[in-house]
Chain A
């Protein structure tokens, strides 16, 4: 991964929204999806997410890497969830329909399966907006967007600068590691034990930290010499004004969160319970 932002420049209605809108929508949407456990509503959000994807002209091939990574992570967390709390579904839904017994204290229940299905649906419901945000927002708009939704511009800028220098630092790490390999400092995990590999990696990280400190000092000076932090506010070269589309999208996402709240009222809890 070269950059946190995997911006794909392919004009679409989603691209034309301002970064601040997309960030607001991201927050509202994920809140809506993460709070509810209503299967029907999660299904609706997934369909809506896929529609948004189609509109954005992002292709499946563009995001395959990210998607596979998320799937892998999801599988892992599903297994961990089952290992650590195999009866969580039973606690939530109040019934216990055993499908089959497993070794030890474990048993596979319909409730647990349904609960874990909902968890996976939540990932699928929120993932599209996250991917959409990172692939349709210009990196330079990111700090401006954070600032616009009320985060101090000093913090917003620090975050965006940190993200931006990650690729530089990875590149430097690789170079140092190659030069050390040439000196006989082995970094290949197949050839040496984890312990000595960690020791060798630490030896690279020391000079890397030193050079990053120098870099930070230079950036800080360069910013201060151009009056960063002098005033409580600043304007943004890359900021764009809100248009009708921006307001509509934000309103729509606010409604999505509203629906979550209403569903909690109707269901009496965050969960939709088909077992009673």
Chain B
């Protein structure tokens, strides 16, 4: 039964949105105590965000629907409270740190809740400064949101709920918009707050390995509106629940499984630093490394895009690229990585001609790009924006794909014939007469890619193709891209996702402050401490596993994993 330490209790709880025919949450039973940290994971659309909204009161007060069963916060039914009252118990940090930044300065944003409580100005300023200190942004109290990085904005949001001294903290995908290193420090901060405030912490996140960085008490898995598993991390990682529910397990766990090591909860498997491997297990890992054959070397191919000493300065005077030289070969699949603001997107825009480089030269298929218009360059290099919704303008899928062709002067018949062929290639033919709105995110992404591929470009550039996607959508998008790549199209991806680098790229280019600081195989980059630190990447857990097993050639070990993983997934 409820007592003082029981923060959240769901009992036989179901919820159906008014606009929907099926319930989104079905028969939920869940208890979270003060001081506990739970990670709530599940594929997109499984109901985890709705569950969070039931705790902070957006359901049922902002999003109406039918509820059965009960949700209690410290023993009180949420339906008998209000959002404002609940917000004194539950602090919510949303995924989108830009749009939840309401104030125009750090201090003002942290104080937003206090302003609404009519706190007098002196008390407010003192409390805001104090909260800013707790999350490490006290020096930035007068900064505007434009002057902050994504990680700092998130810290401000956290400070904004800390001023209320809330006993329950809710984080909606805190890692989604952060680079790997910033994500790591966000998890450290969350753990520090949990310990100091003895708060109940609920983290919605499908990047399990990163979310587990500071440990957790339980992992709760959801699928199709139900809780399918609720176990401590050690037990969860040894079970088959993650695979069943399409949640990515940590890489070192996959590697140990490939090596044939039998995992047991008592080996402390939830942390690569603490995992206990016996001599036999280590020997298995070493034997596995030796047994995997090296992949065949691909023959050297022709260069399709060549940048020589390219620099770019924005009209505001901010230098975004300096002295970038890069050769991209035909048929490559490569990634462009680095911190936010390192110049990744600018580089892509300069290649596509959205921005004109200030110095240096760009050759596209041997032609000087400065003589080519955006439209001409697009015949060679297609650009796919991060959010497919920004690129979809037509109601019907077939029209969307044919649109660009018609705009380029092709006849309607020819354009629709060509776009139908493309839809077949992209596995979208059966949806050709569907409205765009009826598609899933992954399918929409495929439509936007199809509408670029239809011009038959030699290369496509994708901005964060998989950001915020669960494993299912990630795999769908990436396998599709791999297929496109195997038809000879060069693919350049801007990404923060180290799994993507490891699983699909043969080459990674690392940018820092507008300069290329590394251009190498991903396994070499993700085991190079110096580059990892400079570019705010995170060292892969495989690296630590290699050291644990006494393997000196960590890069080679990661390479082994990549080869074996690609082979095994290829056979699936």
Known: A175-B390, A178-B374. A228 touches B116 (CB 8 A): yes
Residue of A nearest to B111 (CB): A237
Assembly CA distance A162 to B276 (angstroms): 56
Q: Which residues of B contact A139 (CB under 8 A)?
A: 104
| Interface pair B451/A236, CB less than 8 Å apart | no
| Interface pair B117/A227, CB less than 8 Å apart | yes
Q: Which residues of A contact B99 (CB under 8 A)?
A: 215, 218-219, 222
Is A234 an interface residue, CB under 8 A from the partner?
yes
Is A233 an interface residue, CB under 8 A from the partner?
yes
| Interface pair B121/A235, CB less than 8 Å apart | yes
> Main SS of the interface on chain A?
helix
Contact of A237 among B94, B128, B387, B394 (CB under 8 A): B128
Is A195 an interface residue, CB under 8 A from the partner?
no
Assembly CA distance A164 to B145 (angstroms): 11
Contact of B105 among A140, A179, A204, A234 (CB under 8 A): A140
Is B301 an interface residue, CB under 8 A from the partner?
no
Is B108 an interface residue, CB under 8 A from the partner?
yes
Chain A binder among B289-297, B377-385, B525-533, B562-570: B377-385
| Interface pair A182/B383, CB less than 8 Å apart | yes
Contact of A223 among B102, B128, B393 (CB under 8 A): B102
Q: Which residues of B contact A223 (CB under 8 A)?
A: 102, 112
Q: Which residues of B contact A207 (CB under 8 A)?
A: 389-393
Contact of B389 among A164, A184, A211, A230 (CB under 8 A): A211
Q: Which residues of B contact A215 (CB under 8 A)?
A: 99
Assembly CA distance A91 to B37 (angstroms): 80
| Interface pair B116/A234, CB less than 8 Å apart | yes
| Interface pair A226/B391, CB less than 8 Å apart | no
Is A239 an interface residue, CB under 8 A from the partner?
yes
| Interface pair A234/B118, CB less than 8 Å apart | yes
Contact of B393 among A186, A206, A222 (CB under 8 A): A206
Is A152 an interface residue, CB under 8 A from the partner?
no
| Interface pair A236/B115, CB less than 8 Å apart | yes
Least CB distance from A234 to B in Å reads 5
| Interface pair B407/A184, CB less than 8 Å apart | yes
Is A64 an interface residue, CB under 8 A from the partner?
no
Known: A179-B390, A237-B125. A231 touches B385 (CB 8 A): no
Residue in B56, B119, B161, B374 with the greatest tally of chain A CB atoms within 10 Å: B374
Interface string of B454-481 (1 = CB under 8 A from A): 0100000000000000000000000000
Number of interface residues of B (CB under 8 A): 62
Q: Which chain A residues in 225-251 approach chain B with CB under 8 Å?
A: 225-231, 233-239
| Interface pair B391/A179, CB less than 8 Å apart | yes
Q: Which residues of A contact B391 (CB under 8 A)?
A: 176, 179-180, 207
Assembly CA distance A231 to B118 (angstroms): 8
| Interface pair B103/A224, CB less than 8 Å apart | no
| Interface pair A226/B113, CB less than 8 Å apart | yes
Least CB distance from B452 to A in Å reads 7
Q: Which residues of A contact B407 (CB under 8 A)?
A: 183-186
| Interface pair B100/A219, CB less than 8 Å apart | yes
Known: A178-B374, A207-B392, A210-B389. A237 touches B84 (CB 8 A): no
| Interface pair A140/B392, CB less than 8 Å apart | no
Assembly CA distance A210 to B108 (angstroms): 29
Assembly CA distance A182 to B461 (angstroms): 12
Q: Which residues of B contact A233 (CB under 8 A)?
A: 118
Is B60 an interface residue, CB under 8 A from the partner?
no
Known: A184-B404, A233-B118. A172 touches B113 (CB 8 A): no
| Interface pair B115/A183, CB less than 8 Å apart | no
Least CB distance from A218 to B in Å reads 4
Least CB distance from B183 to A in Å reads 21
Give 22 CB contacts A-B under 8 Å: A138-B104, A140-B104, A176-B385, A182-B354, A182-B374, A182-B383, A183-B403, A185-B404, A185-B407, A211-B390, A219-B100, A219-B102, A220-B62, A221-B62, A224-B83, A225-B58, A225-B87, A225-B92, A227-B84, A230-B82, A236-B121, A237-B103
Give A residues with C-beta under 8 Å from B. 138-140, 161, 164, 168, 172, 175-176, 178-186, 203-204, 206-208, 210-211, 215, 218-231, 233-239
Closest 8 CB pairs of A and B: A140-B104, A183-B404, A222-B100, A203-B393, A182-B378, A230-B84, A226-B113, A184-B408
Give B residues with C-beta under 8 Å from A. 56-58, 62, 82-84, 87, 92, 94, 96, 98-100, 102-105, 107-108, 111-121, 124-125, 128, 160-161, 349, 352-354, 374-375, 377-378, 382-383, 385, 387, 389-394, 403-405, 407-408, 451-452, 455
19 additional A-B residue pairs with CB within 8 Å, beyond A140-B103, A218-B96, A221-B62: A140-B104, A176-B385, A178-B354, A181-B378, A182-B354, A182-B377, A183-B378, A183-B404, A183-B407, A183-B451, A184-B375, A186-B375, A186-B407, A218-B100, A219-B102, A222-B94, A230-B116, A231-B117, A234-B118
